[in-house]
Amino acid sequence: MTGADVPTAVRAFIDATNRADSDAFVDAFTEDAHLYDYGREFHGHASVRDWNRTDNIGVQAHFDLVDATAGDAEDAYVVTLKVTSHRYNGTGPMTFRLRDGLIADLRIG
């Protein structure tokens, strides 16, 4: 899978982060989205917005796409991103599960 093949919602997640567009970032998720970040869990748009403020755009995160592959289930993708920010820096996989073209579940770590 090339960068051009990355699903629209995942591309929106990356692009919104890099533009520091919090509304577009949250809009990439379903209303009932689940986000798991190294043991911390967030549910729904309000919680995704909170995570974005403390762990993503709020710390000036920038994503560079390294790799993207189909996951082990339909509408699942493993996307490796290089992350730079004022808090987190490194390269690693994020597992996305989509529903109706939006991110329903995101697992980091």
Q: What is the pTM of this model?
A: 0.94
Give buried/exposed letters for 59-75 (b at 16+ CB in 10 A, else e). Answer: eebebeeeebeeeeeeb
Q: What is the pLDDT of residue 4?
A: 52
* Start-to-end C-alpha separation, the chain: 22
Is 3 a residue whose pLDDT tops 80? Answer: no
Domains of the chain: 3-108 (3.10.450.50)
Across 82-103, average pLDDT: 97
> Could you read off the pLDDT of 30-41 as tens digits, one per residue?
999 999 999 999
Model confidence at 5, in pLDDT bands (50, 70, 90)? confident
Q: What is the pLDDT of residue 2?
A: 52
